[in-house]
Structure 1
């Protein structure tokens, strides 16, 4: 089946265009959490990972490295929609990369006692029996392992990595790294004939201490090698001698965010930034591409196509990062260093089209390019991955792509590490579901935590962002009549002409006068007050309403998670129980704008499971108040992500301090099936619900500003609300 890919549409100079909808795209078919590979009785609460990933020659089995457990994990993808665990195999050290030749996996394993005394081995695993059949010492700490296309040898980058705590991470730090080649015949590694390739004395930076990072082998048996810390690239001939080498060079960056300051400001620039490439892949006999992650001096936020002689054929210079910004996946907390942090790269031909995949580790996204013309790559899709994609493998014969996502947040009660599988599919991509692409200027956004509909125009909505961007809180205008929905405007909330800093906006409603009421969730330990603000259409705060003492006397950090206006009364759901609440009940707090009186009713929560239970949104339509109730769990552990409704007639507040009447709730919709629609893991934070002028319900999730989060924002319609 030929792949048909569309060209990019153009936006203003600072905003990289987002791809037009393609007729063919990669759709996620499954997400496989790595704890599934643990044996019965093992402690699944241990941290695990999926780092570098490869596929068997028939494309039916995935093999990933898991350094926290010291294993390789195997996954059966005979049915790519239903991966099956095949278990873990202990490597006796820290596995870095596995390459599969025939029925054997050849695994680089780090066994170093220290940075100063590095060691490692090549482990051979028989995949049929899942047994280790051979091991050999390789003389140092391995990083990347690559294989010849004909399976005749493997090449290993012996990094002998530096100690980042020593000398502020500066190199040189001995011993030096090198490259080894090991011949493979009939599934047996010829370790006795191991060839050591010296790469000292050639880099401009610390030539005595090369630190080989990643390598790849082309059809002619030539090896391309990146030395990230040295900012150098080496081409090694089929005979094992260096045929060329050159500095990876520098790049000038414009239109980037350079400060980790709680703002999304893409007007900065950096000049002469070292590329410091990590991942590298040959794309034909004369060209290879690098993902320029950066290290301690670099961070060029882009990727590059080089000619084998060192000539730059194409430089991304941050264009992929700006495309990612439009999808809400930008990690603002990484702005001071390496931004989206492009790290790994994969190449394959799908249906005759040469395609390059570039993984942005900190944004958890994959840029998919048509590189028919290496000088003019075309971004055809942005693919959402799990948290921190570390490795990718393409299986073009089956139309598949798989990613290994290394971060496991089990200790924080959040998402586990995952392997994700994608299949080339006809039709328009289902993600992103909301984007700022097409706006007159590049709009950075994320952490959408509250939603309200325009009173007159269907599919016109407004959202607020929470404390992740607390130095520049914002209101976003959304046009949901398009697919994906478009963020068309961003208004910074201001006080006295300056951004109203340290607001944690969790709810928004119309004030009936062209402006908004917004609710800010406070944290006394950070000197952020619980409060309500009236904001005009320009974002200017015109009025602040502080909570009364009798309410604050019982406060916790979990405050208002929404706001709705009913007549003259503002209603604010409190996320979790405060000190004076009965167990399993939370307040719906009322404030009468005319009489200035406070009151509340009690709302009964669903029974708690493993995590907590709370509220995260409230909106009003017809005779009902609709409320989002959820647990704080993710993935298969998630149980409650639901919409309930309460009759407005029951919202009769008692005075604070009195016994609160308990309202009756009615379940409207279980949102977990919706959250599984894109075959990712179930996200935690459903935080926005609005019902528009046509009676259509809209829901949005909060992506936490891409901090300990995949960055995915799900935005969808739940149909007509009766």
Structure 2
């Protein structure tokens, strides 16, 4: 069960609205570096494990897909620069730095049954290989002691998950290698026969030294933690990581966020491990094989549990809209760790691969104190701290450029006084004390009477539980204060892809759903009451559907009241009968059931891109329209707000020539999207104007599926 202390800390951290005279110190992102700059010719490139030089001015990361290591100049932390790439004739898995040398574990295995690898020593200044040492197996983690005299390498010899359902044993067994830096000698530490699970086939995963030159090593699939005397190479201790039973978690990958499930006696299966001091260890419980542990744990060296976070990380991600329902077996999947002291405070950083977050805690000696959560690209893997410069750096491994997405990034954060810039939208708890699950905000509208109150919908990322979210936009961060599930016949409505919402003037809403014929999802409008019950479904007329494509309704707004109300729907892209560079604004009058349309002129897209509409909102004498390209990161050229005079909305009959409206640029959103020092996200999906005439913008995080999960929420002020 989540702890009251954690909830109180989280609430205080997320919902604070005033900075005190003596402001708290928080971590905020100050820069992002696309690692493709170091290997522009590589088909794919990835930052995985990352470390910093002793002076904190140079970063080196392992890049498995590109087959080498990348170098980053961090002299100006707010403007990292590429320093080049070194190929290493294999698959680098981890890197550590001692003085002017980088020590890289490189996997050269030809198969699972014939693992091999090497320790490569690289001169950082010249970016040249000084030496190579045969490790006798497939390396994973690499770490050095404080004095820089010893290096530990976890030789995993990983199993083939396609053989025997990935069960153990699958020999040859893994082991640990200790490299004596001055003598340049290797010592092998046998790890067989110590674990309760698959003891004859240990799979060492992660290593870390304490101040006494003891090495802690996780045997992940064996669910074991071992302690080795680094000077003698003797296994001196160890214990089972044990199991956890967790309540109030989402256990189903079903398009709904429901935190009422539970797991029972799930092995922790720890990945990263760090010493907190000579007697305490912290581990990130990835749960890679049996899955589902979802937590991080603090152990005494005798194996007694000091603390386990249980469902805290999952619920934290859910509040921030980062819960990964599409990849749900392992929850947020804690994988990486860093422990570092800034000033007189030791912090624990827990890296969550599936939610793309880093949760930050203060080490108190007992139960850690939650501080904040920061966003980190897509699938953060590695993290390193540079306390002398008040910096932490993450490495985010996923490269989606082949599919038109974002590439891998290194991200830099600074500890300083002020407010946390992220999150910008969070959820309150429901009557059971659990967060309103939310993600993929795709359309919004302001309340007619209450300033700062908005209503928003999520798209098909949560297809099993479409919902209307009530947002208090005047809180900082903005808060989802209620969730109304859209229902049909008393059950959550299916076959909806909600992309727009507007008020009906009677306490209910009109919703626009983007159709997909291949998925039997109709292009349609839905009238719902205040409880979210569907009272009417209005399919698009035959004249419109005759030319349909997948990209349909992307927003809806209402002009007029009662029998004079006309709904206007923004169609995202050109349908088959549209002239190139024009899309339809479709009208529907509920009182007469009449349809019509006008044409909206799009900006010209860059080569390889398309441009379409994402939202339409009526306010005063104009309708405001979000127009954007489908590009992300440095390729993004257009994310903007335009306005069209209401006087231009003279709908013509469908099927004929349509009048073309005029438009005027109101705001370029790209500077806003760069303000959090990440990369420019692609989907600006919502624009709402509240009862006081203030405009609000929300991005769609795609339900954390091939996305960083970041949702940006900001105001552009009074219109």
TM-score normalised to structure 2 length: 0.96
The SS at the match of 1:363 is coil
Using the TM superposition, give the Cα deviation of residue 98 of structure 1 relative to its aligned residue in structure 2, in angstroms: 0.8
Which of 693, 696, 704 aligns to 1:695? It is 693
Counterpart in 1 of 2:354?
Answer: 362
Whole-angstrom distance in 2 between the partners of 1:580 and 1:473:
31
Counterpart in 2 of 1:562?
Answer: 555
Whole-angstrom distance in 2 between the partners of 1:152 and 1:296:
34
Whole-angstrom distance in 2 between the partners of 1:549 and 1:561:
19
The SS at the match of 1:525 is helix
**Aligned pair 1:196/2:188, yes or no?**
yes
**Aligned pair 1:350/2:326, yes or no?**
no
Which of 423, 426, 440 aligns to 1:435? It is 426
Counterpart in 2 of 1:28?
Answer: 29
**Aligned pair 1:686/2:684, yes or no?**
yes
Whole-angstrom distance in 1 between the partners of 2:428 and 2:531:
22
The CA RMSD measured in Å over matched residues stands at 1.4
- Deviation per residue, 1:24-55 (Å, 9 max, x gap): 111101000011112xxx536x2110000000
Equivalent pair of 1:559/1:575 in contact (CA under 8 Å): yes
Which of 215, 231, 235 aligns to 1:223? It is 215
Whole-angstrom distance in 1 between the partners of 2:612 and 2:94:
43
- Deviation per residue, 1:62-120 (Å, 9 max, x gap): 10000000010000111100000001011110001111000000000000000000000
Counterpart in 2 of 1:181?
Answer: 178
Which of 382, 396, 402 aligns to 1:391? It is 382
Whole-angstrom distance in 1 between the partners of 2:218 and 2:349:
18
Whole-angstrom distance in 1 between the partners of 2:346 and 2:421:
23
Equivalent pair of 2:14/2:423 in contact (CA under 8 Å): no
Whole-angstrom distance in 1 between the partners of 2:634 and 2:704:
21
Equivalent pair of 2:378/2:396 in contact (CA under 8 Å): yes
Equivalent pair of 2:6/2:369 in contact (CA under 8 Å): no
Whole-angstrom distance in 1 between the partners of 2:426 and 2:139:
40
The SS at the match of 2:122 is strand
- Deviation per residue, 1:467-515 (Å, 9 max, x gap): 0111110000000111000100001000000000121000000000000
The SS at the match of 2:204 is coil
Using the TM superposition, give the Cα deviation of residue 259 of structure 1 relative to its aligned residue in structure 2, in angstroms: 0.6
Whole-angstrom distance in 1 between the partners of 2:448 and 2:330:
42
Which of 429, 442, 456 aligns to 1:449? It is 442
Equivalent pair of 1:392/1:402 in contact (CA under 8 Å): yes
Equivalent pair of 1:564/1:572 in contact (CA under 8 Å): yes
Whole-angstrom distance in 2 between the partners of 1:704 and 1:481:
24
Equivalent pair of 2:501/2:555 in contact (CA under 8 Å): yes
Whole-angstrom distance in 1 between the partners of 2:24 and 2:292:
34
The SS at the match of 2:313 is helix
Listed as ranges, the matches of 1:506-525 within 5 Å are 506-525=499-518
Counterpart in 2 of 1:476?
Answer: 469
Whole-angstrom distance in 1 between the partners of 2:570 and 2:402:
29
Counterpart in 2 of 1:54?
Answer: 51
**Aligned pair 1:541/2:539, yes or no?**
no
Equivalent pair of 2:686/2:698 in contact (CA under 8 Å): yes
Whole-angstrom distance in 2 between the partners of 1:17 and 1:231:
35
Equivalent pair of 1:462/1:475 in contact (CA under 8 Å): yes
| Gap change, CA 1:20 and 1:395, over 3 Å in 2 | farther
Counterpart in 1 of 2:119?
Answer: 122
Using the TM superposition, give the Cα deviation of residue 299 of structure 1 relative to its aligned residue in structure 2, in angstroms: 2.5
| Gap change, CA 1:310 and 1:17, over 3 Å in 2 | farther
Listed as ranges, the matches of 1:66-465 within 5 Å are 66-185=63-182, 190-191=183-184, 193-238=185-230, 239-335=232-328, 337-373=329-365, 375-437=366-428, 440=431, 441=433, 442-465=435-458
The SS at the match of 2:271 is coil
The SS at the match of 1:324 is helix
| Gap change, CA 1:127 and 1:119, over 3 Å in 2 | same
The SS at the match of 1:538 is coil
**Aligned pair 1:467/2:460, yes or no?**
yes
Whole-angstrom distance in 2 between the partners of 1:463 and 1:421:
32
The SS at the match of 1:325 is helix
Whole-angstrom distance in 1 between the partners of 2:364 and 2:416:
20
Q: How many positions carry a matched residue from both structures?
A: 703
The SS at the match of 1:562 is strand
Whole-angstrom distance in 1 between the partners of 2:693 and 2:88:
58
The SS at the match of 1:655 is coil
Equivalent pair of 2:393/2:413 in contact (CA under 8 Å): yes
Whole-angstrom distance in 2 between the partners of 1:438 and 1:486:
10
Whole-angstrom distance in 1 between the partners of 2:393 and 2:604:
38
Counterpart in 1 of 2:600?
Answer: 603
Whole-angstrom distance in 2 between the partners of 1:592 and 1:98:
64
Which of 627, 630, 633 aligns to 2:631? It is 633
| Gap change, CA 1:169 and 1:243, over 3 Å in 2 | same
**Aligned pair 1:491/2:488, yes or no?**
no
After alignment, is 19-28 or 220-229 more displaced?
A: 19-28
Whole-angstrom distance in 1 between the partners of 2:218 and 2:428:
34
| Gap change, CA 1:418 and 1:145, over 3 Å in 2 | same
Whole-angstrom distance in 2 between the partners of 1:324 and 1:377:
18
Equivalent pair of 2:569/2:585 in contact (CA under 8 Å): yes
The SS at the match of 2:158 is coil
Equivalent pair of 1:8/1:19 in contact (CA under 8 Å): no
Counterpart in 1 of 2:659?
Answer: 661
The SS at the match of 1:444 is coil
Equivalent pair of 1:287/1:307 in contact (CA under 8 Å): yes
**Aligned pair 1:592/2:584, yes or no?**
no
Whole-angstrom distance in 2 between the partners of 1:222 and 1:9:
33
Structure 2 unaligned spans of 5+: 17-22
**Aligned pair 1:652/2:650, yes or no?**
yes
Structure 1 unaligned spans of 5+: 1-6
Equivalent pair of 2:31/2:77 in contact (CA under 8 Å): yes
| Displacement over 6 Å in runs of 4+ | 7-10
Equivalent pair of 2:313/2:332 in contact (CA under 8 Å): no
Whole-angstrom distance in 1 between the partners of 2:264 and 2:106:
38
The SS at the match of 2:298 is strand
- Deviation per residue, 1:324-379 (Å, 9 max, x gap): 110000001122x1011010110000111010000110001000100122x21011
Whole-angstrom distance in 1 between the partners of 2:5 and 2:310:
18
Which of 546, 571, 581 aligns to 2:578? It is 581
Counterpart in 2 of 1:615?
Answer: 613
